[in-house]
Chains A and B, each alone.
Chain A
Amino acid sequence: MELIFKLALVVVIFLISLLIAMYSTYAERKVAAFLQDRVGPNRAGPWGILQPLADGGKMFLKEEIIPTNANTFLFIVGPSLAIMTACIGSAVIPWGQKLTIGSYVIDLQVADINVGILYIFGVVSLGVYGIMIGGWASNNKYSLLGAIRAASQNISYEIAMGLSIIALLMVTGTLSLRQIAEQQHGFWQNGYFAWNAFKQPLGFLLFLVCAFAETNRSPFDLPECETELVGGYHTEYSSMKLGFYLFAEYINMFISSAVMATLFFGGYNFPFMDMIHSANLVTIIGVVVLFVKIFAFIFFFMWVRWTIPRFRYDQLMDLGWKVLIPLAIANIILTGLWTTFIRG
């Protein structure tokens, strides 16, 4: 029975990820339009809400082109790997507390492993393979340049991301995402904010910047920067293989929003949650709250994309190595001092 519930949860999360990725494309266009005093897609269905279906249909029906000199096998492996690594990250995120239906207790988390954060980290570090393999296999200079940029950018920002997480781990003392979420119970606890964003503001800022870089979102979208590299690593891709790359980006955005909401903004916890006595109601509201937080982060991703211009490549590297990493180390030292001397 346990296994069936888990499988159902996996399928549901997978479908939700895809749905959110689909509607992120719509939301991206709408947000961009609103930020630029435009209307955005409004022809397919009311307010254009059927636009993602139309886009998806177009993606599937387009001619699929594999360049003659491309490495055919790796050319196909690239986008598959990209979307696979994007999807498996959701396995350790706690979507809510336990749900009790009759005699069954459903844990709204696929796997509560005690190295949850490190798992997310590993998956994120694998994400670059899809881009690199696809970019190399295209046998195109622009694609190769995009792949190289993606690789160096991801490796550089992974370090800063890891260091910013270490400071958070010094506060929480655990690697399990479930326990981290539990620690941020409610909103106000023992005379201070319970959410980690208030305990680790600098760490959160660093993590946020690195999340932008890891998901290849503007202002760090150098691997696919249109002005310099045509389409970057997906220059040669067409039809649904291109769709996979775009989908992977949006799923990555969704997952990293979920990770940020869980690590820093209390996950499924919400203020005054102790006032509700029905455990199931708390769980359901908690899931809704988590998704509201995730959508807020996704909106923030889009808001930033349509505000800030792209970094130059050397600026990107300078920011990563000369600013973020030293700041992250300073944050670790500060947190260490705080945990030893003030918290005791």
Chain B
Amino acid sequence: MEPLSNKRKVIEQKPLSFLERAYLPAIFQGLGITIKHFFKKPVTISYPEEKREFSENFRGMHSLKRDENGKERCTACGLCALSCPAEAITMTAAERQPGEEHLYREEKYAAVYEINMLRCIFCGLCEEACPKEAIYLDGDIVPADYLRKDFIYGKDKLVEAPLNQ
């Protein structure tokens, strides 16, 4: 058949020469390569003690943000839950009572805010949907645990630590 392009390359299989058939030179060559690696520095990062640097746009555990006065930004609008393709987010809204102004920024806030980390796919759509810039996936890797119920993260784990305390 006529070749369509000139890129075809005929590979010639030469019979092995005596040295190649004797195996030993190749074996010594291989041993040399492996012993070189023996003295190389291991590339291992011992994970819990050392951590590899995350990339700029890494998406890890969620955190619910506070504003500059330390008030929770979330207003429990439900857009994050709506946008979530894995349906991992649930929340219950509540009205801000007088005297709680220093805790919540808007009149409505999330009394319960839960993310099921087993369902979450860390796509970042909640982050994009949030009109209040209240949720970001800027945390660490979600740690392992033994029970399914322990993977449903409530506000205790999600809300940022209060400012100046």
Chain A interface (Cβ within 8 Å of chain B)?
Answer: 31, 33-39, 42, 303-304, 306-308
> A31 — which chain B residues lie within 8 A by C-beta?
38
Q: Is B37's beta carbon under 8 Å from chain A? A: yes
**Contact, CB under 8 Å: B42 / A39:** yes
Could you say which residues of chain A place their CB within 8 Å of the CB of B37? 34-37
Which residues of A are found within 8 Å of B38, using beta-carbon distances? 31, 34-35
Contact pattern, B 29-71, Cβ under 8 Å of A = 1, otherwise 0:
0110111011011111010000000000000000000000000
Other than the given A35-B37, A37-B41, A307-B31, 15 more pairs (CB < 8 A) read: A34-B37, A34-B38, A34-B42, A35-B34, A35-B38, A37-B40, A37-B43, A37-B44, A38-B44, A39-B42, A39-B44, A42-B46, A303-B35, A304-B27, A306-B34
* Ranked 6 nearest A-B pairs via Cβ: A39-B44, A307-B34, A307-B30, A35-B34, A39-B42, A34-B38
For residue A68, give the distance in angstroms from its CB to the closest CB of chain B. Answer: 34
Chain A positions within 8 Å of B30 at CB level: 307-308
B32 → A minimal CB distance (Å) = 9
Chain B residues near A303 (CB, 8 Å)? 31, 34-35
Kindly state the separation between the CA atoms of A304 and B33 in the bound complex, as whole angstroms. 11
Residues of B within 8 A of A (CB): 27, 30-31, 33-35, 37-38, 40-44, 46
Tell me how far the C-beta of A321 lies from the nearest C-beta in chain B, rounded to whole angstroms. Answer: 16
B83 to chain A, nearest CB (A): 42
Which residues of chain A have C-beta atoms less than 8 A from B34's C-beta? Answer: 35, 303, 306-307
Q: Which residues of B contact A36 (CB under 8 A)?
A: 37
Total of A-B residue pairs, C-beta within 8 Å:
36
A37 to B41, CA, bound (A): 7
The docked-state distance in angstroms from the alpha carbon of A69 to that of B154 is 53
Task: Find chain A residues with CB under 8 A from B35 CB.
Answer: 35, 303
* Contact partners of A37 in chain B: CB under 8 A: 37, 40-44
How long is the Cα–Cα vector from A306 to B31 in the complex, in angstroms?
Answer: 9
> How long is the Cα–Cα vector from A51 to B22 in the complex, in angstroms?
40
Docked Cα-Cα span, A39 to B37, in Å, equals 12
Across the interface, name the chain A residue whose C-beta is closest to B45: A39
In the complex, chain A residues whose CB is within 8 Å of the CB of B46:
39, 42
- Per the bound structure, the CA–CA distance linking A42 and B43 in Å amounts to 15
Q: Which residues from A are CB-within-8-Å of B41?
A: 37
Interface pair B40/A304, CB less than 8 Å apart: no
Chain A residues with CB below 8 A from B42, complex form: 33-34, 37-39
Complexed CA–CA distance, A36 and B38 (Å): 7
Chain A contacts for B40, CB-based, 8 A: 37
Contacts A/B (CB < 8 Å), 16 sampled: A31-B38, A34-B37, A34-B38, A35-B34, A35-B38, A37-B37, A37-B40, A37-B43, A37-B44, A38-B43, A38-B44, A39-B44, A39-B46, A42-B46, A303-B31, A303-B34
Say whether B31 contacts A304, CB under 8 Å.
Answer: yes
Within 8 Å CB of B33, what residues of A?
A: 307
In whole Å, how far is A213's beta carbon from the nearest beta carbon of chain B? Answer: 14
The distance from the CB of B42 to the nearest CB of chain A, in whole angstroms, is 5
Please, how many angstroms separate the alpha-carbon atoms of A33 and B41 in the complex? 11
Taking CB atoms, residues of chain B closer than 8 Å to A307 are 27, 30-31, 33-34
Contacting residues, chain B, for A308 (C-beta < 8 A): 27, 30
Minimum C-beta distance from A44 to chain B (A) = 14
CB distance from A170 to the nearest CB of B (A): 24
Report the bound CA distance from A304 to B34 in whole Å: 9
In the complex, which residues of chain B have a beta carbon less than 8 angstroms from the beta carbon of A38? 42-44
A29 to B: closest C-beta gap in Å: 13
Taking CB as reference atom, which chain B residue is nearest A42? B46
The smallest beta-carbon distance between B40 and chain A, in angstroms, is 5
A262 to B35, CA, bound (A): 26
In the assembled complex, the Cα of A35 lies from the Cα of B30 at a distance in Å of 12
Whole-angstrom CA separation of A288 from B53 in the bound complex: 47
A303 to B39, CA, bound (A): 13
